[in-house]
Amino acid sequence: DAKTTQPPSMDCAEGRAANLPCNHSTISGNEYVYWYRQIHSQGPQYIIHGLKNNETNEMASLIITEDRKSSTLILPHATLRDTAVYYCIVTGGGNKLTFGTGTQLKVEL
């Protein structure tokens, strides 16, 4: 599976949009981009995934560049409860998920 690179930490003001970047320059054509988050001492929570088109659901939006070498997870109106470690994972369909170090997002008042 392709390796991903994320900034180790980010801060965001409550109510603002949180934009979390991820680089995956070695992604191959059949690999999806998944985003998960993990709040302290809980199991990871699925956020969103996509292949090449931008995706949106009730939690977030996923913007994938045209060359698919990077993506951005957007939380449109961050709240304190969005404070968590966010993981960007690239994998082929049905394959195991390999976690990197993720981005620690801290949402502050």
Partner 1 sequence: GAVVSQHPSRVICKSGTSVKIECRSLDFQATTMFWYRQFPKQSLMLMATSNEGSKATYEQGVEKDKFLINHASLTLSTLTVTSAHPEDSSFYICSARDLVANYGYTFGSGTRLTVV
Provide the binding-site residues for partner 1, judged by CB under 8 A. 34, 36, 38, 41-49, 87, 94, 96-102
CB of 44 or CB of 84, closer to partner 1: 44
> Shortest distance, CB of residue 15 to partner 1, whole angstroms?
27
> Shortest distance, CB of residue 96 to partner 1, whole angstroms?
6
CB of 70 or CB of 103, closer to partner 1: 103
Distance (Å, whole) CA 88 – CA 4? 7
Beta pairing class for 84-92 and 103-108: antiparallel
* 86 closest CA partner among 34, 50, 41: 34
